[in-house]
Amino acid sequence: MIGNKTKIVIPVCVLLVILIAFSVKHFNMSSGSGNFNITRSIELNTKNSMRMYYHSFSGNKYTLMNLRKGDKLVLNVSVTTKQGDLKVSLDNGNNKELFSTENPQKTVTKTININETDNYKLQVSGKHKGSFYVKWRVES
């Protein structure tokens, strides 16, 4: 005989599975765009960070940010490399590279003075096994 608690627990579990599946499909936490292939990955992003752990990453992933003249963009970049190469860069709206680091061995912190109001592209690119964590803040 099925107890009263079991009669309640099973429908609640089914409902939770449906809600989780819906959330994953419709509320993906991925930020940015790009053209990349990944295998066995976990991606955790916020409005001020990109973080990804993976078996392999190939291509480029980027996020756009609208910055104003006089802003200071403070970047913190951490990369763990098991194999391959990974570059993190910042380009202005004219595709001029303002900052880049490739395969840093330790956390890189860089403050970039913004000289013109524009959309800037923060990009991660390469063929790589490992992980990256890029976070930023804008100081006016």
| Vertex 95: Cα angle to 97 and 54 (nearest 5) | 70
- Both tokens of 59, joined, read 């291509």
pLDDT digits (tens, 9 = 90+) for 16-67: 666 555 444 333 344 568 899 999 999 999 999 999 999 999 999 999 999 9
Its sign, for the CA torsion 105, 110, 116, 117, is positive
Confidence of residue 8 (pLDDT cuts 50, 70, 90): confident
pLDDT digits (tens, 9 = 90+) for 72-101: 999 999 999 999 999 999 999 999 999 999
Pick the CATH number of 30-139 from 2.40.50.140, 2.102.10.10, 2.60.120.380, 3.40.50.970: 2.60.120.380
- Both tokens of 39, joined, read 């295998």
Residues 98-117, mean pLDDT to the nearest whole number:
97
pTM of the model: 0.77
DSSP 67-108: E-TT-EEEEEEEEEEEEEEEEEEEE-TT--EEEEEES-SS-E
Residues 133-140, mean pLDDT to the nearest whole number:
96
In single-letter form, the type of residue at position 118 comes to D
Residues 90-114, mean pLDDT to the nearest whole number:
97
Task: In whole angstroms, give the CA distance from residue 47 to residue 45.
Answer: 7
Domain borders along the chain are 30-139
